[in-house]
Structure 1
Amino acid sequence: MKTTIKMALAAVALCFATFSQAEVASSSEHGFQIQLEQSFEGSAQQGYRHFINNVSEWWLDDHTWFGDAANLSIEATAGGCFCEINGDLQAMHMQVAYVDPRKTLRLVGGLGPLQSLGMNGTMTISFSDNKVSLNYIVGGYPTTDFTKLAPIVDGVLAQQLASFSQTL
């Protein structure tokens, strides 16, 4: 019995270890900031390449406009698109604003429903060996309570980074 409990606790600990360390760094009626870190197996260059070239493998279908992450791509050039294209159905999730290959990618825009709420953000994704860090600062006209949105966005992005690390 004690062995079973220990094994169950170890399994739970292992499951939680795969999720990113997340933090709503700040939030107010005008916006919020989310900071996430996620470990992965590999170099900064491998992480960066996987993030860019294999977004359809790690982005979760539930967090796409049209239900299939296979339709996603990231064009890693200034002005490039983090887009989802399914025939005539098209959505720009974010626009690429800054690229430092193998190290940093910065995207601007409002992900998912943030876009329709008139919210805009800057997301900086930085890679180092065995770690990816994400910083997302979002603001806009307060038509909704940003303090309630922040934990939801934090949870979604934490899921995405956990999925990223599991597919590398």
Structure 2
Amino acid sequence: MIRSLAAVFACAAIFAQPVSAEVVATGDSSFVTRDTAVVSADTKAVWLALISPGRWWNSAHTWSGDAANLTLTPQAGGCFCETIPEDPSNDRVTLEGSVEHMRVIQAFPEKVLRMRGGLGPLQSEAATGVLTIVMSEVDEGTLIVWEYAVGGPMRYETPVISRAVDGVMSQQLGGLADLLGRVDAPRARPAEPDADGADSAPEASVEDAIDAMGRGE
């Protein structure tokens, strides 16, 4: 796992993916990052890939150096965890270890995955974060909105750590989007009149997905 803020910035710059990313709020000891991507897969395929982080998480952001050691149990109380295997090539005895990255607090298949925990350099701080990932159907496939809200005491300047964390979050969503088939930003579906002549509602937008986060949907 990257252990210094400078290394976080360097790695994010090298591997950053062109998803829509932004630090949307900051406070004295809090910040919120939001990243979005559209993929050609349906919500079921997105969900199944999402709960298999070893397929898309960047190995540079693991403690073991290999994303294949990551697991995610998609149920309340489930662990987004990592196994650190024994190293037989080491001259001294190195026993197997493990890391808890986050804990699942909501698992709503094909709709919302919400987890709590401090990722990366935040793990050593008193601050914690809530990662909410929302999936919504759009014409092109699925819109994924990935929001990480962090708050609490930390030994980093908020403007600095928020940008670094947003870069890493963009990188992880980028890996998921690449696996599933990234497409351009969603096009709004033209409203179609219903039987009474009224316009039907368009498909989900980023705003819809964000509203759903607030309602716990």
Same fold (TM over 0.5): yes
Match of 2:53 among 34, 55, 58: 55
Normalised TM-score (structure 1) = 0.85
Contact 2:126 2:154 in 1 (8 A): no
Shift of 1:152: 0.5
SS of alignment partner, residue 160 of structure 2? helix
Hey, what does 1:136 align to over in structure 2? Answer: 148
Structure 2 CA distance, aligned partners of 1:71 and 1:93? 12
Q: Which has the higher helix share?
A: 1
Which residues in structure 2 correspond to 1:66-145 (within 5 Å)? 66-87=64-85, 88-129=96-137, 130-145=142-157
Structure number with greater Rg is 2
Structure 1 CA distance, aligned partners of 2:169 and 2:161? 12
Structure 1 CA distance, aligned partners of 2:55 and 2:154? 34
Q: How big is each residue's C-alpha offset from its partner over 1:33-74, in whole Å with a ceiling of 9 and x where there is no partner?
A: 01110111111121111111x310100000111110000011
Structure 1 CA distance, aligned partners of 2:22 and 2:156? 21
Q: How big is each residue's C-alpha offset from its partner over 1:1-50, in whole Å with a ceiling of 9 and x where there is no partner?
A: xxxxxxxxxxxxxxx9x621001001122110011101111111211111
Structure 1 CA distance, aligned partners of 2:58 and 2:106? 24
Residue type of the partner of 1:125? I
Q: How big is each residue's C-alpha offset from its partner over 1:76-129, in whole Å with a ceiling of 9 and x where there is no partner?
A: 010000000123210000000011111100000100110102220111101123
Contact 2:63 2:84 in 1 (8 A): no
Q: Which has the higher strand share?
A: 1
Q: Name stretches of at least 5 consecutive residues in structure 1 with no aligned partner.
A: 1-15
Match of 1:163 among 168, 175, 179: 175
Q: Which runs of 4+ in 1 moved over 4 A?
A: none
2:77 aligned with 1:65, yes or no?
no
Shift of 1:150: 0.3
Residue type of the partner of 1:50? A
Contact 1:94 1:111 in 2 (8 A): yes
Contact 1:45 1:127 in 2 (8 A): no
Residue type of the partner of 2:58? L
SS of alignment partner, residue 158 of structure 1? helix
Hey, what does 1:150 align to over in structure 2? Answer: 162
Contact 1:31 1:147 in 2 (8 A): no
Contact 2:122 2:154 in 1 (8 A): no
Alpha-carbon RMSD: 1.4
Alignment coverage as a number of residue pairs:
151
